[in-house]
Amino acid sequence: MKKFSLSLLMALSMTGMTHAATLPAPASPDPNLWLEDIDGAKQLDWVRQHNADTVKKYADTPGFRQLDARILEVLDSNARIPFVNKIGDHYYNFWRDKEHPRGLWRRTSPASYASEQPTWETVLDLDALSAAEKENWVWHGVDCLKPANRRCLLMLSRGGADADVVREFDLASKQFVKDGFVLPEAKTQATWKDQDTLYVATDFGPGSMTASSYPRIVKEWKRGTPLSAAATVYEGRHEDMSVSAERDHTPGFERDFVHRQLAFYDSETFLRGKDGKLVRIDVPSDASTDVQREWLLITPRSDWTLGGRTYKSGSLLAAKFDDYMAGKYQDGKQPLTVLFEPTDTTALDAHSWTRHHLILNVMDNVVNRLEVLTPQAGAWKRESLGGAPELSTIAASGIDADDSDDYFLTVTGFLQPTTLYAGTLDKGEPRAIKHSPAFFDASKYRVSQHFAVSKDGTRVPYFEIAAKDLQANGKNPTLQYGYGGFEISLQPAYSGGVGRAWLERGGVYVIANIRGGGEYGPRWHKAALKANRLRAYEDFAAVSQDLFKRGITSPAHLGAMGGSNGGLLMGNMLTLYPQLYGAVVSQVALLDMQRYTHLSAGASWMAEYGDPDKPEEWAWIKTFSPYTNARAGQKYPPVLFTTSTRDDRVGPVHARKMYAKLAGLGYDTAFYENIEGGHGAAADNKQSAFMSALGYTYLWEHLK
């Protein structure tokens, strides 16, 4: 059983966009409510006009075109590492470049992949498919049926939206299966039960979706029958976030599971018997579980007492799955095995199985180290797999947990291009097989880690990348980036785009590891949830003020940037701390926190922010609702809002309305909405380069 990631949970939802006509009216008159009709002709004309204004002012210069081209060169480089996943006997990779902007799904042998120039076989040309079908297909992934790995479910999105079309594909013939499984556009979760049966959670019609706009019902669909005849496996409630089902195809350990996501951090998982009966895995609803062969791994997000013993939030615990389901751990006679327990500075970043081992990726003050654990009676055998170079990131994962102890390992840093290693546990050191190229001269720069003190005394780490000869004169153009939500960590990673667009031009780049993220595990995240959301913004402000104190920059030369939840962060830095910044870029953002639960997939994030329809919660949500708090007579810095029409996760409505309100109040603001792109705001490398170049150019124009 694979534990669904937060990003996947955010990407399961209903067909199409949310329109104003279906939404309740706001509590007070909103002159920009008309912009909530996402695909309306009048609204799209408005978008095109303001896009043209922004392009004319910021993107219609030789300097912009040169930067755009240099970022695109990074994204299209054929020297990039082609990361792969193993399906059957081949390694598969999805690849975009200048000649293939929509992308190639291709494969090679493990031996060929390890060579300097692998020989690739094209399985599906998405550019050719898009041209033939006159659709703007964007790759969303694939699920192949083990152990034969011949039949696959391909997920294809129109224009980059989370909603996709599911189509059955044959790997041997490299063709879509005639009269095979096909699901229409929706935010669908479809997985194989067997060659003739799928588990499908999708939009089955009125009443089949949750308030969060995700599937409420999962069914078992037999080949050759209409979807309307599929048998219901489980129905969640309208108030739930989503439901889904899957089969674990591990040979000898085949099991079926049903998942009920109650809220973003609360879920239930059931073991489904051959008779269709469901037995819940009895763990706290805020704990995550992972079943692999005979083992059950549990990660509680709160301190958890079981059998008279208390296990710390953020720990990783192990039990024999069958024994746990039989209740043998509940009486305390058989304690859970503690594989990891956090400290004040450490958190579990990830874990990954190989056939006989478990790899742990641990963060200590946001820097990684790896451990290999081997199951045995009592305490598991524990060995080091190495640590990252100073202020870098190291990560490892098993290649095929059903078959081998092979693994991939990556090392990357702000100034260190990524290197990919391959190895086999218990068989010596891994060997480097791929190197990402250097896209800028890193010898001129240095990386350092610092700690700012937030308003409540909390120490907040941040990374700084700057020239070695940096003068602490308060005049350095500085870009401070942050996210601060959903327990997502910002770790050191190489970016040729940042190097070319910011560092080479004399800028300082700063990553703020504020609360709300996962840098110190669940406790760091919970510290900025709901009524405590302002802690994240206080942390970001504290980092800015520490940069001033150290003489790195000053408000006139400090820019801030963030996307999605980080775009909400930017909206709040604009309205709550305008005196700290010379310019702000807010990307694919939430901004209208009074309406967010009624826009696109917004209701799914109430566990993060709260429910604005409850007066007692709106009382504190309104303190971090930028659209609500923006008002006349303030000294707001210039701000750019970027978004995508096809973003059916957050939606373009927030950015449209925020820009319209600020522009109406006479503030210096700009707007750009990519008609394609989804929540990533770009459907291909060319669009990605343009959106990046626009953000960097905007900051340089106002901070230089």
Residues designated catalytic: 564, 679
CB 256 within 8 A of CB 152: no
CB 279 within 8 A of CB 270: yes
Locate 233 and state its tokens: 């496996």
Nearest to 536 by CA among 482, 469, 490, 484: 484
E strand spans, 354-507: 358-364, 367-374, 381-387, 392-398, 406-413, 416-424, 431-435, 445-453, 459-467, 478-481
Q: Specify the DSSP class assigned to residue 35.
A: G
Angle at 495 between CA 494 and CA 496, to 5 degrees: 120
Burial letters 417-445, b for 16+ CB under 10 A, else e: bbbbbbbebeeeebeebbebeebbebeeb
471 contacts: CB under 8 Å, gap ≥ 6: none
Nearest to 261 by CA among 611, 607, 516: 607
CB 172 within 8 A of CB 150: yes
Q: Hey, which residues does 151 pair with through a beta bridge?
A: 170
Give the whole-angstrom CA distance, residue 105 versus residue 635: 50
Give the whole-angstrom CA distance, residue 441 versus residue 1: 44
Across the beta sheet with 431-435, the strand order is 392-398, 406-413, 416-424, 431-435
**94-98, long-range: CB < 8 A, 24+ apart:** 94/139, 95/120, 96/684, 96/685, 97/685, 98/685
Per the document, the length of the chain is: 704
Burial letters 192-227, b for 16+ CB under 10 A, else e: bbeeebbbbbbbbeeebbbbbbbbbbbbbbeeeeee
Locate 195 and state its tokens: 């060659």
E strand spans, 544-619: 558-563, 583-587
Please state whether 378 falls in left (phi above 0), alpha (psi between -120 and 50) or beta: left
